[in-house]
Amino acid sequence: MVVGLLGLQGAFLDHRHHVARLGHSHRVVRDLEDLAAVDRLIIPGGESTVMAMYLKAYGLVEPLKERIAAGMPVWGICAGAILLAESVDNGPGILKSLGVTVRRNAYGRQDASDVHAVDVSVLDRPAFPALFIRAPRITACGPGVSVLATHDQAPVFVRQGTVMATTFHPELTDDAVFHDYFLGF
């Protein structure tokens, strides 16, 4: 299986060792040829406004929406979750592929970023050290969205079919449990 890492900006390289450890190869996705060559895609954390700008500039928005609608598994992390969201309180929705509303930078500035123990019992991790970095807050979920973990009374790990999002950064821990889960879709 070839796991795509959207490589326009942000923390895409931090996923490589998790993917390799689980026995798969990766390809950094920057254009349509790359996108056609991958079986699934991780949209990393970073800066959603910058990634949105590049997605548009490289003509990737519609092809990506089409692949996701056709069932390609995709996991958005933090900024990636913002890009996937159906709507964004304080900005434009881009891919509109996940039935959630998010509010960018809802927990404050960079210095308010922190690690919190989140109950991810669904993955057998009752106290996962979830690293939130200028995270968005999921403020509403549509009917098809399963909430798999919450923090501070908001969903932080959600899934709708083959589309998954975390508002924190599992790739910055040594634990590949989220990658393992996503690669099992």
User: Which residues belong to the annotated binding site for L-glutamine?
Assistant: 46-48, 104, 133-134
Q: How far is the CB of 151 from ligand GLN (least distance, A)?
A: 15
Distance of CA 97 to the CA centre of its chain: 12
Contact 185, 162 (CB under 8 A): yes
The sign one gets for the Cα dihedral 63, 68, 70, 73 is: positive
Q: How far is the CB of 113 from ligand GLN (least distance, A)?
A: 8
Quick check: is 169 catalytic?
A: yes
Which one of 103, 134, 137, 179 is in contact with ligand GLN (CB under 6 A)? 134
Q: Which two tokens stand for residue 53?
A: 């700008």
Residues in contact with ligand GLN, shown as a per-residue x/- string from 79 to 98 under the rule CB under 6 A = x--x----------------
Query: Would you call 171 a catalytic residue per the annotation?
Result: yes
Residue 76 interacts with ligand GLN (CB under 6 A): yes or no: no
CB of 42 to ligand GLN, least distance (A): 12
Task: Please say which residue, 73 or 76, places its beta carbon nearer to ligand GLN.
Answer: 76
Shortest Å, Cβ 180 to ligand GLN: 21
Q: Which of 4, 46, 76, 93 binds ligand GLN (CB under 6 A)?
A: 46
Query: Catalytic pick from 78, 141, 151, 179?
Result: 78
**78 assigned to active site:** yes
Which residue, chain included where needed, has tokens 């390809």?
27
Asked if residue 185 lies in contact with residue 73, where contact means CB atoms within 8 angstroms, the answer is yes
User: Which residue positions form the known binding site?
Assistant: 46-48, 104, 133-134
- Kindly determine how many residues on this chain lie close enough to bind ligand GLN according to the rule CB under 6 A: 11
Per CB under 6 A, residues contacting ligand GLN are: 45-48, 78-79, 82, 104-105, 133-134
